[in-house]
Amino acid sequence: MLSRIEIIEARHLDADHCAAWNAIRSSSHEFDSPYFHPEFTKAVGAVRSDVFVAVIERYGQPVAFFPFQRSLFGQGRPVGGRLNDSHGIVASADFNCDWRVLLRACGLKKVEFSHLVGRQSTFDRGVVSEMRVRSLDLKDGYDAYRARIQDRGCRTVKQSAQKLRKMVRELGPVHFTLCGSPDGILSQLMSWKSEQYTRTGYTDIFSFGWTKELARRLVQSEGDLRGCVSGLFAGDRLVAAHFGIVCGGVLHYWFPSYNTRYRRYSPGCLLLLETAKRCEELGIHRIDLGKDDTRFKHEFGDRVGYVREGVLRSTAASVAFHRAGKAIGHFIKSSSIGRPARNTAALLRPIKDRMSFR
């Protein structure tokens, strides 16, 4: 039986809270992702005022932590919103609590989740779908990883080696920095990503001040959780770059990009492979790529996991209403009016996306 749920602002997490949180994290590999480290929640809380943590206690001791963002209208999201690729309640495997009690204590009418990790029964009622996520498994070293993906028919590694040699011939010697000095690289990366978002019609994540400040804070961190800025150079040219977060041997591959002038060399593939080659130096044994939604991730990710997405609402009736709405949406997409419905959704998506980052 739950004795107490205390809601605190993320910036007020103290050393005792973090120690208890990390003790729970270390008990399960489900929480290996850097997103589950309390310092990630504190970093987002330092640049946003709507970040909170539900500290769930039994007999006066913390047994679970639920980090979340709360809008003015009681809408809950994972910490960092759509930037967060692994979330949920940090608790032991047998933990369960009444979802109504949790949402009420958090002041939430609903909470959305898109990358719910593990089998967290508290959220079962709101689950709509399950998605695959992919990672690079490097625990046996890069050579073993490369052999595995080549054995399953991936030709990209061999093609990338050829393109790397061509790059050297045409642009000059190639060198790579992993989690090195961010000077100049991070700002160029943000510029490339902004251009990419504009070109493809997606919301420019880095057009919001808090996202830029979060990246800078994570890069400056010297704790267990830290930002990792990497760059691939040809001669004196920065060809490709990546900004991610690393903690406890896991690197989350967050924001890769490249100079489109050099796309003929497939710099994105070269960047990831060079990162994988060098991970052992920093004790990194896994690179998380997130949802298996691109060919790039499918080809390189040899480790498969699953996350769940959905929305948990404060009343059973609203949950049923949400599920019915989803079912109607799927029906419309597969019907004769599917195309105009998709076109309308595409027009509304930029507005919805921008609102999700505010």
The pLDDT assigned to 355 comes to 55
Asked if 272 and 300 count as a contact pair (C-beta separation under 8 A), the reply is: yes
The pLDDT assigned to 342 comes to 54
pTM of the model: 0.89
Tell me how crowded residue 2 is: count the other CB atoms within 10 A of its CB.
15
The pLDDT assigned to 339 comes to 62
**What is the Cα–Cα distance from 268 to 71, expressed in whole angstroms?**
36
For residue 68 the two structure tokens come to 């979340």
The pLDDT assigned to 254 comes to 96
**What is the Cα–Cα distance from 117 to 291, expressed in whole angstroms?**
12
258: phi then psi, degrees, rounded to nearest 5: -155, 165
In the block, which residue shows the tokens 């595409």? Answer: 346
Which residue type occupies 212? K
Sign of the dihedral defined by the CA atoms of residues 176, 177, 181, 184, in that order: positive
**What is the Cα–Cα distance from 88 to 305, expressed in whole angstroms?**
15
Give the SS3 label for residue 55: strand
The pLDDT assigned to 349 comes to 52
Per-residue HEC secondary structure of 58-112 comes to ECCEEEEEEEEEECCCCEEECCCHHHCCCECCEECCCCCCCHHHHHHHHCCCEEE
Low-confidence residues in the chain, pLDDT < 50: none
**Read out DSSP for 190-232?**
HHHHHHHHHHHT---GGGSHHHHHHHHHHHH--SSSEEEEEEE
For the segment 185-240, what is each residue's pLDDT rounded down to a tens digit? 999 999 999 999 999 999 999 999 999 999 999 999 989 999 999 999 999 999 99
For residue 90 the two structure tokens come to 């940090």
Domains annotated for the chain, with CATH where assigned, are 4-132+306-357 (3.40.630), 140-284 (3.40.630)
For the segment 237-288, what is each residue's pLDDT rounded down to a tens digit? 999 999 999 999 999 999 999 999 999 999 999 999 999 999 999 999 999 9
**Residues whose CB is less than 8 angstroms from the CB of residue 130 and which lie 6 or more positions away in sequence, other chains included:** 306, 307, 308, 309
The pLDDT assigned to 33 comes to 97
